[in-house]
Amino acid sequence: MDVGKVKSLLTRRVVIPAIVGGAALSLGAYTIMKPGSAVMAAPGYTAAAGPLDNNSVSALLSLDQAMETLAARVTPAVVNVTVTSKVNSPHQVSEGDDDGQDGQQMPPMLGPSSPFGQFFRGQPQQGPTIEHGLGSGVIISPDGYIVTNNHVIDGAIDINVTMSNREVYKAKLIGADPLTDLAIIKIDGKNLPSIPWGDSSQLHPGQMVLAFGNPLGFRFTVTRGIISALNRSNPYGTDRHKPGQFIQTDAAINQGNSGGALVNARGELIGINTFIISQSGGFAGMGFAIPQAIVQHTAETLIRDGQVHHGFMGVTIADVTPDNAKFFQMNKAVGAVVSDVSPDSPGGKAGLKTGDVITALNGKEVSDAGELQMEVSQKQAGDTIHLEVARDGKTLNVPVTLEPLGGSKGDHEVAQNGNGKGRWGLSLANITPDVRNQIQLPENVHGAVVQDVRSGSPADDAQLQPGDVIVSVNRKPISSASDAADAFKGVPSGQDALVLVWSNGGNSFRVLHPSNG
């Protein structure tokens, strides 16, 4: 969440309010300066009722006092981060741009008017330019370690930190992790105010939270809200390796809040504010924070090693849903189903197969694909993890030795939402060399290509599109269009079909419900 040029933001913000505010102040001053006796003597004037008795609103007054205490405790540990960065190419730079570096792309659903277009960087410039950005950070240790977002400091050639008491420090970059969008910077100091870690695994929707940061150039702002939802999936469509599990809150988060603190009622750090989703470019009640479970692990690793070497299995995973659970002989919709295994990947070498359901990691139950992806991403390359796998009604224990993320071209560790619905209503064709080249289908993927989807049909409702490839039907591999047609015909009347679909570079399972007609 970046701020554009602070000067331009302030200029745009104050022009009209200054005029309206001046008129109101002038009229208000005239009334206040009248003698009190003259006001009381005005015909028909009756004095206002007195305030509510303290006892009748004691709960609200106690809440106010608690909020004031909480804000006073946390604010000194939240800092203003200003950076100077050099931009070498003439283009619109935003949080959605990665300046040529993978892992910096922001959620595609935000659109061109997204606040990410202005949250941190400035307006487009021609040629090499020096730009100034503004974000937030959180002091996590008394000796000056500060956690913030990677996109706040990415490309910075100079970093300054301003404390709530207006003291300014030079900061140095300790390490950054583009995958989780987190970074650690450090200032020289002793006995600095800091925020203790909370436990994001103990959060629940409805809990009260406070968000701290420097929105729109207004330093050291605090807003209050609740946890709206937990475990929100990864919105970064350009890099599906990124872990999700975001905390959603309605506490107001705006441009400049990136890297700021999300705290619970105890003043514990439960998340780092990172992005919002909005059609207008302003806060629309949906802010998102990276949970403490990811932040603390990443921060401690960066402080210790200066970088993070994420491990990966090399598989594509999706949620087990009520729709597809029966096809994997699962009694309940928990776990992560493997929808693709990359050749020569750690998962492939360990014997994982498409259709396996991973139900536990190192003895800990896996609730969904997002949780598994987060847990694996926090492991180091070389670590061996032990997976509990459900396969065809049997339980297997599969050890997997992780490799460095990015170490094998084409390998994937992808978590996908599994809530798509599908039905019949599509035409299929064989995959010819020309088709394979046109849709950039890997040589190891076989099946039948979707040629047409009838508008308004069940397949259309399922968001199947021309160019998608049907890889299997009811877990039986498909090698041609006629093979797929026979497989669909073989599904008993009124029963669903489980379809493995290759689309946009990855596989996902979809349950197709037959039409009622």
CB neighbourhood size of 419 (10 A): 13
How far is residue 163's CA from residue 274's CA, in Å, rounded to a whole number? Answer: 20
How far is residue 493's CA from residue 513's CA, in Å, rounded to a whole number? Answer: 10
How far is residue 181's CA from residue 284's CA, in Å, rounded to a whole number? Answer: 22
Catalytic residue among 94, 136, 258, 377: 258
Residue 88 labeled ligand binder: no
The residue assigned the tokens 């349950």 is: 511
How far is residue 327's CA from residue 497's CA, in Å, rounded to a whole number? Answer: 9
Catalytic residue among 181, 250, 319, 496: 181
How far is residue 244's CA from residue 248's CA, in Å, rounded to a whole number? Answer: 11
The residue assigned the tokens 């598989």 is: 315
Beta strands in 372-475 (DSSP E): 384-391, 394-401, 403-404, 414-416, 421-422, 426-429, 448-453, 469-473
310 is catalytic: no
How far is residue 23's CA from residue 28's CA, in Å, rounded to a whole number? Answer: 9
486 is catalytic: no
Residue 181 labeled ligand binder: yes
C-alpha distances in Å from residue 197, one per residue of 147, 201, 375, 469? 12, 12, 19, 46
Closest CA to 419 of 496, 515, 319: 319
The residue assigned the tokens 């396996």 is: 356
Q: Return the HEC string of 220-238.
A: CEEEEEEEEEEEECCCCCC
Give Cβ neighbours of residue 458 (< 8 Å, ≥ 6 apart).
422, 423, 424, 425, 512, 513, 514, 515
258 is catalytic: yes
What does the radius of gyration of the chain's CA atoms come to, in whole angstroms? 27
Residue 339 labeled ligand binder: no
Give Cβ neighbours of residue 494 (< 8 Å, ≥ 6 apart).
514
Catalytic residue among 94, 114, 136, 151: 151
Binding residues: 151, 181, 256-258
Binding-site annotation: residue ranges for substrate: 151, 181, 256-258
Which residues are tagged catalytic?
151, 181, 258
